[in-house]
Amino acid sequence: MTELDRFIWEHRNDDPSQMALSAKKYPDVPVAFVARQIDAYSRLKKKIPSWYQQGLSFPVPVSLEQCSSEATARFKASLFSGENFLDLTGGMGVDSYFFKSRFDRITLVEADANVLSGTRHNFQTLGIDNVVFVESSAEQYLQKTEQHFDLIYLDPSRRASQNQRVFMLDDCQPNVLVIKDLLFNHADKTLIKTAPLLDISLAIKQLEHVSQVWIVAYEHDCREILYLLEKNAPTLEQVPIHAVSIDHNGIAISHYTHTQEEEQCASIEYGGAKSYLYEPNAALMKAGAFKSLGSKFQLGKFHVNSHLYTSDELIQDFPGRRFNIIATCKYHKKELIEVIPSQKANFSSRNFPDRPEQVRKRMGFADGGDHYVFATTDHLENKVLLVCLKV
């Protein structure tokens, strides 16, 4: 451990911007570098807590920004096991780190020499020894290697040449649409991680060999979408799409699976409020399983575009939030105040012309409290406020 490593660790809780301005205070310390490391440690503590220890190195800040979180990496690793694993877009190696316990041998490929050097150093510091590091682009490695792998993993870079964010498959690097055949030459299975913004149906069509899709939500946000490629894949309409919410250990706390064929064939009843309201979680919202979800749990729906559900009997295992409906109001301030005299509530809007903060302001309410108000459009095209309490 170097003196600089010790200095960084001792100051890990300092303000990075203040450290960057402290050249006079620490004349023998590269304060700009230290400030970047301190900032990285603050991100690491939340994103990859099991790595939070002295002596790590973060040469390229964007690597920490794009890398998987510990929770999502643990979830991915839980899906597969085998002998040989290839990470074609190694980066900081977060995914490889958690796949290491599921595979005998890990090969980590990274084109950026600085990133690879930092990753090799960090793995040595973390005590990982079953990883082979290769400096190469994904394309060049696939063209040169003769190895066969049980699973290939790619997390294509979503940064364009001018550091712009992109999400379409053919804008990312490597372009998986170009190297698909090479992937199948070296593995029967390939797992691809994409940004949540990418349209799932479009991705399945472009990739052509998708056998399963996982939509992964963590801490109420959709974090990533995973596509498993296999030669003998079903048709687009029959690809299983898994909407999964996970906890901080990467364990699924809710899991709903559907196909586009099931969604197309499902029917659902549209109507007014009953006793309970249900709001799907972030993974389900991205999955688009709006009819099949209601059909499976025998729920009514307020409107084809509202994506809020209702029932007379409480559904305990619904994958999302559950509420008691205590009143349905028109979009009028006076009527809402009669139901909530405290004028304090948590507002949401679905299929509604105004955003939640606009609704709250128009009603003259403060934010917070025990009441939840859903501004939505009902089956008769009326703008209504559904006043609820959490179950």
What confidence tens digit (pLDDT) does each residue in 251-262 have? Answer: 999 999 999 999
The model's confidence at residue 170, banded by pLDDT at 50, 70 and 90, is: confident
Cis amide prior to 174 (ω within 30 degrees): yes
The model's confidence at residue 172, banded by pLDDT at 50, 70 and 90, is: confident
Domain positions in the chain are 3-56, 70-260, 266-390
pLDDT score at 248: 95
The model's confidence at residue 64, banded by pLDDT at 50, 70 and 90, is: confident
Quote the CA–CA distance of 44 and 38 in Å, as a whole number: 10
The model's confidence at residue 1, banded by pLDDT at 50, 70 and 90, is: confident
Quote the CA–CA distance of 126 and 57 in Å, as a whole number: 11
Average pLDDT of span 266-292: 95
Asked if CATH classification 3.30.2130 holds for the domain at 266-390, the reply, yes or no, is yes
Residue 293 near residue 263 (C-beta atoms within 8 A): no
Q: Which residue, among 98, 76, 50, 95, has the nearest Cα to 252 in the 3D structure?
A: 76
Q: Round the average pLDDT of the chain to a whole number and report it.
A: 94
Quote the CA–CA distance of 8 and 390 in Å, as a whole number: 45
Residue 61 in this model has a pLDDT that exceeds 80: no
Quote the CA–CA distance of 193 and 214 in Å, as a whole number: 9
pLDDT score at 9: 96
pLDDT score at 59: 85
Residue 185 in this model has a pLDDT that exceeds 90: yes
pLDDT score at 168: 82
Residue 126 near residue 132 (C-beta atoms within 8 A): no
Quote the CA–CA distance of 123 and 218 in Å, as a whole number: 26
- CA distances to 84, 291, 295 from 95, in Å: 14, 34, 36
pLDDT score at 108: 98
Average pLDDT of span 301-314: 96
pLDDT score at 164: 61
Q: Full-prediction pTM beyond 0.85?
A: yes
Q: Which residue, among 246, 194, 197, 254, has the nearest Cα to 219 in the 3D structure?
A: 246
Quote the CA–CA distance of 269 and 260 in Å, as a whole number: 19
Asked if CATH classification 3.40.50.150 holds for the domain at 70-260, the reply, yes or no, is yes
pLDDT tens profile 342-361? 999 999 999 999 999 999 99
The model's confidence at residue 197, banded by pLDDT at 50, 70 and 90, is: confident
Length, in residues, of the chain = 391
> Which phi and psi (to 5°) does residue 197 adopt?
-70, -25
N-terminal to C-terminal alpha carbon distance within the chain? 52
pLDDT tens profile 144-164? 999 999 999 999 987 655 556
Strand partners, 212: 228
pLDDT score at 171: 81
